[in-house]
Every structure is written in C-alpha cells, then in structure tokens.
C-alpha cells in the first residue's frame, strides 16, 4: 500500500505540527477501547472459527447468499465481495425497500439453494424487517417456514431486539454484532465476515490486513499511514475543503466509495460540521465530474484509490478497416489497461495544473489483506477525525427523525404524535392523500 500526499497542499511540517493532537486522539481511542466503550479496534483479533463452521454447514446444501440488511449492516460485506469476487452472481443484497429490488431478485434464485442472512444490530430497522417479511411471504408457498428457517442466519445483538428474540424462539442459527460496535464499524465482525466467508473469501487474511494497519498505529505519526490520512483529511477540512471525493480507478473498488461515504458522513456530519463524502469512479466520472473538480470551487480534497495490478487485459489490435482513422490509430498496440492507467495519470496531471489537492492510495493488488488494511485504516481515520472535530463519531442521532415520522405514518405504537407533527410540517394528512 503506497500513500502519496505530495499533492495535497499539506506539507510534512504541517503534519508534524499536529503530531501531539493526533497522538491525543489516538490515546482517546485506545482509552475508549480499553474501557470497552468501543469495540472495533479489537475486531482484527477475534476468533473466526464459529463463522467458518457455520459457513461449512450452510454450504453443504446451499450455494447462494441473500443478505437482508442496510447501511452498516450491508455495505461492508457488499464492498468486500465486489472487491474480491467481482460481480458474483450468487450473492444478492436486499437493502432498499423499493419493491423492484425483491421483484428482480426472485426470478434469479433457486430458493432451495439460498441462505438468507438477516443482519440488523438493532433488530428493528424498518427496511430490513420489512424486506425479511416480504421475502418470507414470497417464499412460504415454495419452501414453507421450516425450510426457510433451516436456511436462515440471523446476525444481531447478542441479547436484545426482536431478531434475537426470533432466533431464540425458533432456534435459528445466529451470529453476533458486538454491542459496542456501531454498524458502520462492523465490517470486520460477523456482519461482514459471514457473507464474505460464504462466498469463499479467506476472512483470516482480511483480518491479517487489518492487523497490519493496527500495528501501524504504534509508529510515529509521519510513519503511520492511518495517522497520516487522519491528519491530511482534517487539515484539508481546516483549509476549507468541505467535500471529500473518493475516486476509485477500479471497478472492483467501486463499493469502497459507498462504504466510505456512509462511514464519513454518518460519523462526522454533526453540529454543522463535516466533510461531504462524494463517490466517483474513474474513468467514467472524468466524463461527468472532472470539469467541476478542475474548474469549479476549490472546496474538495480528492482521494485517488487504485490498484497497480489489473485483472486481465485486452490488446487493441490494428484492424485493417480502422487503420486510416485518426482517433483510432494511436491506440493500436496498446491495451485497455494501458489506457486506464494513462487516464489516471492524465487526471493527476490535470489536478496539479488546476491546483486541485489530491492524495493517491495505491494497492499493489486487490486482495484480502489490502481490503482488511483499507477498512481498518479508514475506520481509525474516521474515529480520529471525530475527536479532532469535537463530535462523537460513533452515534447518528439525526438519522432517527425521518424514521420516527415514517413509523407515525405506518401506525407504529408510540409514534401517533409523530404523524400529527408530520401532517403539520408537510401541510397535508398522509392518510387522506396517501400519494
Ligand atoms: O452505522 C450505523 O449504525 C447505521 O448505518 C446502521 O448500520 C443502519 O442504520 C442499520 O442498522 P441496523 O443494523 O440496526 O439494522
């Protein structure tokens, strides 16, 4: 993993100046971890035997995984599987409740061969519970509840919540979300590791990569990539960069931007502070976003994330019918991969010319260890930025309000007042004009 921050407009001296505060932030994090207030720092060291046993058991008969979960309960697994397995056709995620999602999945699966992993730390997220109910309703004719049960794995709080209650009552296989790990910090727990292992990913290697990042926390600030990244993002925020673009020059890393987007936004967007995370993918967004990045407001720090090793390549052979065409000729003898790399370098050159600050993270290849390293590093950088901003990076209080209004509309007990409040805010009564 190489980190080049020479074009961020942030000098070593500036990082040296904030060394003490970064070390304070780290101490604060260790302290929270020692007191078990937070649990994500310990995840790389947890035993994985229970996950591997359960996977071996389920894989005897089943070959497809349907993950029912949303936000921190799905994005990490989705990112890991996309990165390491590509567009794996036997893995589906039911996160959104737009009915089209389930409608499109059903004809593509053989329910007999499916494992259903319902993931919700709280055990009560409306989308997850509703998708679960909808899936069971859709499959009950074909499979029946007993067969569905055999194919279920519930990942939730070890003690509390409706899903835990269901797992106990119906004797359903279950896994745990540690109570002191917030959803978006849970990819290295059972939440991300069970789906990953089910699809054949070596989860111990993922944790090995996370351990490497963990060890880097002992290094001097200027030697430790997790701490350098923490400092770079914070200093960029102080310099007015209110937008952080995660631009991956890699199809396989595309979901990493989604994962980062949630982590950065939900953890740091508090008290009118925060850096808006934006997802971009090269080269596609060169034809969509780059005009703005280069010549629009200078309010962005851009992270270019890519891997040196590309998977497969295609030669651009000279085709006789094309040989006289000006826009074709220069490409002959090159490959798709060469063009991809040239476009990345071209974008970097343009950023330098237009004085757009960017940092570049280069993986030698996309593998288990590097993914574990990335997850752990970015979780630490996020938590440390929380300390530097003076916000709690582990809660998400402002997420709740919209949910409470939706509960009011659907008649959930205890939320009657919310419906009335919403009626006033929207200036119409949902029950009278439901559209
Ligand atoms: O990071 C978080 O805490 C959230 O994004 C949650 O993961 C998300 O809201 C889903 O919550 P739950 O796992 O309780 O269903």
Domain with CATH 3.40.50.10490 in the chain: 2-28+207-389, 40-201
Closest residue to atom 9 of ligand 1, CA basis? 71
pLDDT band at 431 (very low <50, low <70, confident <90, very high): low
The topology under which CATH files domain 2-28+207-389 is Rossmann fold (3.40.50)
The minimum-distance atom of ligand 1 relative to the CA of 262 is 5
The predicted structure's pLDDT at residue 147 = 96
Q: Per the structure block, which two tokens stand in for 96?
A: 């959104």
The predicted structure's pLDDT at residue 238 = 96
Whole-number Å distance between alpha carbons of 300 and 349 = 16
> H helices of 269-367, where?
290-295, 326-329, 336-353
The predicted structure's pLDDT at residue 399 = 87
128 lines ligand 1 (CB under 6 A): yes
Residues 6+ apart with CB under 8 A from 225: 1, 3, 213, 216, 377
The predicted structure's pLDDT at residue 217 = 96
The Å distance, Cα 11 to ligand 1 centre, comes to 37
The predicted structure's pLDDT at residue 406 = 87
- Other CB atoms within a 10 A radius of the CB of residue 314 amount to 8
Q: Is the pLDDT of residue 331 over 90?
A: yes
CATH number for region 40-201: 3.40.50.10490
Return the best residue to mutate from 73, 122, 161, 406 for the ligand 1 pocket (most ligand atoms within 8 A of CB): 73
Mean pLDDT value across the chain: 95
The predicted structure's pLDDT at residue 402 = 87
The predicted structure's pLDDT at residue 244 = 98
Catalytic residues: 266, 287, 403
The Å distance, Cα 142 to ligand 1 centre, comes to 31
Backbone phi, psi, residue 281, to 5° = -130, 130
Supply the angle between the helices 126-139 and 400-410 in degrees, to the nearest 10.
Answer: 50
39 lines ligand 1 (CB under 6 A): no
Whole-number Å distance between alpha carbons of 337 and 343 = 10
pLDDT band at 304 (very low <50, low <70, confident <90, very high): very high
**pTM for this structure?**
0.95
Closest residue to atom 8 of ligand 1, CA basis? 71
How do residues 254-268 score in pLDDT, each as one tens digit?
999 999 999 999 999
The Å distance, Cα 125 to ligand 1 centre, comes to 8
């Amino acid at each position: 993993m190489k980190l080049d921050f020479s074009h961020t407009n942030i000098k070593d001296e500036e990082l040296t100046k904030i060394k003490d505060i970064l070390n304070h932030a780290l101490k604060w994090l260790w302290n929270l971890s020692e007191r078990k207030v937070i649990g994500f720092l310990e995840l790389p060291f947890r035993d994985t035997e229970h996950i591997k046993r359960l996977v071996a058991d389920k894989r005897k008969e089943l070959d497809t995984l349907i993950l029912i979960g949303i936000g921190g309960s799905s994005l990490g697994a989705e990112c890991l599987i996309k990165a390491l397995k590509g567009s794996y056709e036997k893995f589906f995620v039911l996160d959104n409740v737009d009915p089209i999602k389930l409608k499109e999945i059903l004809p593509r699966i053989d329910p007999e061969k499916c494992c259903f992993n319902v993931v919700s730390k709280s055990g009560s997220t409306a989308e997850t519970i509703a998708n679960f109910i909808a899936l069971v309703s859709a499959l009950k004719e074909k499979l029946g509840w007993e067969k569905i049960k055999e194919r279920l794995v519930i990942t939730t709080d070890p003690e509390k919540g409706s899903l835990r209650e269901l797992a106990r009552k119906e004797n359903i296989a279950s896994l745990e979300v540690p109570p002191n790990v917030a959803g978006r910090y849970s990819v290295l727990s059972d939440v991300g590791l069970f789906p990953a292992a089910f699809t054949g990913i070596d989860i111990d290697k993922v944790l090995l990569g996370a351990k490497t990042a963990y060890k880097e926390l002992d290094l001097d600030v200027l030697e430790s990539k997790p701490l350098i990244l923490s400092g770079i993002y914070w200093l960029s925020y102080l310099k007015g960069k209110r937008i952080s673009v995660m631009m991956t020059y890699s199809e396989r890393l595309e979901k990493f931007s989604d994962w980062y987007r949630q982590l950065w936004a939900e953890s740091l967007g508090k008290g009118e502070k925060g850096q808006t995370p934006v997802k971009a993918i090269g080269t596609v967004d060169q034809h969509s976003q780059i005009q703005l990045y280069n010549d629009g407001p200078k309010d962005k720090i851009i992270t270019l994330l890519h891997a040196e090793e590309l998977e497969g390549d295609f030669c651009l052979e000279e085709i006789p019918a094309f040989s006289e065409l000006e826009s074709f000729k220069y490409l002959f003898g090159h490959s798709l991969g060469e063009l991809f790399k040239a476009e990345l370098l071209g974008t970097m050159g343009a950023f330098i010319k237009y004085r757009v600050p960017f940092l570049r993270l280069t993986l030698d290849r996309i593998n288990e260890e590097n993914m574990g390293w990335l997850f752990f590093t970015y979780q630490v950088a996020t938590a440390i930025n929380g300390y530097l901003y003076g916000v709690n990076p582990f809660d998400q209080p402002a997420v709740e309000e919209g949910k409470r209004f939706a509960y009011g509309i659907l008649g959930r007990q205890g939320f009657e007042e919310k419906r009335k409040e919403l009626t006033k805010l929207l200036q119409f009564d949902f029950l009278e004009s439901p559209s």
